[in-house]
């Protein structure tokens, strides 16, 4: 098996594992990136690959954060090393995931497999989201501590009563409801448009199933109560709509 196909495998593992463990998914992402760049280098088209417009746009977005980081150094006397290793800029390398994702999804041999991984990722997000609506404890911590709630652990944010039952902001297996909301925001607009555009390619029962999942997904996002995520989703839907129509 060549490095390019291994890159596809690790890319799919990255997509599937993202709702389960950020650390594990990042490890798969690094392997996918490294193998893809190695394959590009072996095929002597690495420079062409790095000139990808989507990748260059992501780099440009990250560069716009630099003035903010220098401002915080002066304001809070934060060390440059701390910023480079602990702040959002430390995830700069994640921009490189765009490269294997961009090229692999355009290969008919890999496309269906990647879409299946995305659907599975959405399913895990929806299921974990609904579970945590009705659990006062943080699910990831609960699993990490051997399926028990230890004294003194931080509980979830109360969301209100639902037919006499306490509910909480959905958090999935993330650490905060905002992180989980961000994950939902990344997935929902794209999956919604893809399902709509491929509506005629599926049987009726599959369309009904995907419609149900989409509705449940929307409920989880609404219950997350992150207004910034709502606005972000509406903005992306608007951009996609302008692009398509």
Give the separation between CA 126 and CA 81, rounded to whole angstroms. Answer: 37
Give the separation between CA 104 and CA 39, rounded to whole angstroms. Answer: 12
Q: Could you report the per-residue pLDDT of 183-200, keeping only the tens digit for each?
A: 899 899 988 888 888 888
Give the separation between CA 150 and CA 143, rounded to whole angstroms. Answer: 11
Q: Identify the residue with better confidence: 196 or 12.
A: 12
User: Can you give the pLDDT at residue 75?
Assistant: 64
Q: How do strand 158-162 and strand 165-168 relate by DSSP bridges?
A: antiparallel
User: Can you give the pLDDT at residue 217?
Assistant: 93
CB 216 within 8 A of CB 126: yes
- What are the DSSP calls for 87-117, one per residue? SGGGGGGGGGGHHHHHHHTTSHHHHHHHHHH
User: Can you give the pLDDT at residue 121?
Assistant: 93
Please tell me the least confidently modeled range out of 46-50, 149-153, 186-190.
149-153
pTM of the model: 0.85
Tell me the CA end-to-end span of the chain in Å, nearest whole number: 41
Average pLDDT estimate for 161-178: 85
CB 15 within 8 A of CB 118: yes
Please tell me the least confidently modeled range out of 87-96, 109-118, 127-136.
87-96
């Amino acid at each position: 098996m060549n490095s390019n196909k291994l890159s596809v495998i690790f890319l799919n593992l990255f997509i599937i594992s993202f709702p389960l463990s950020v650390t594990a998914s990042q490890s798969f992402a690094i392997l996918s990136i490294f193998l893809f760049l190695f394959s590009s280098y072996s095929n002597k088209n690495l420079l062409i690959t790095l000139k990808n417009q989507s990748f260059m746009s992501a780099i440009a977005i990250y560069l716009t954060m630099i003035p903010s980081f220098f401002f915080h150094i002066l304001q809070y006397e934060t060390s440059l090393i701390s910023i480079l290793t602990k702040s959002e800029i430390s995830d700069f390398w994640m921009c490189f995931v765009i490269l294997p994702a961009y090229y692999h999804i355009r290969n008919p041999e890999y496309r269906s497999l990647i879409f299946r991984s995305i659907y599975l990722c959405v399913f895990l997000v929806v299921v974990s989201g609904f579970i945590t609506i009705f659990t006062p404890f943080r699910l990831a911590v609960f699993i990490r501590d051997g399926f028990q709630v230890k004294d003194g652990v931080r509980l979830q944010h109360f969301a209100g009563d639902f037919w006499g039952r306490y509910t909480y902001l959905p958090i999935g297996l993330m650490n905060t409801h905002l992180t989980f909301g961000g994950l939902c925001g990344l997935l929902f607009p794209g999956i919604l448009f893809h399902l709509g555009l491929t509506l005629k390619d599926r049987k009726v029962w599959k369309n009904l199933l995907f419609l149900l999942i989409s509705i449940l997904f929307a409920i989880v996002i609404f219950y997350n109560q992150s207004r910034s995520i709502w606005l972000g989703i509406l903005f992306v839907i608007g951009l996609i709509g302008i692009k398509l129509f």
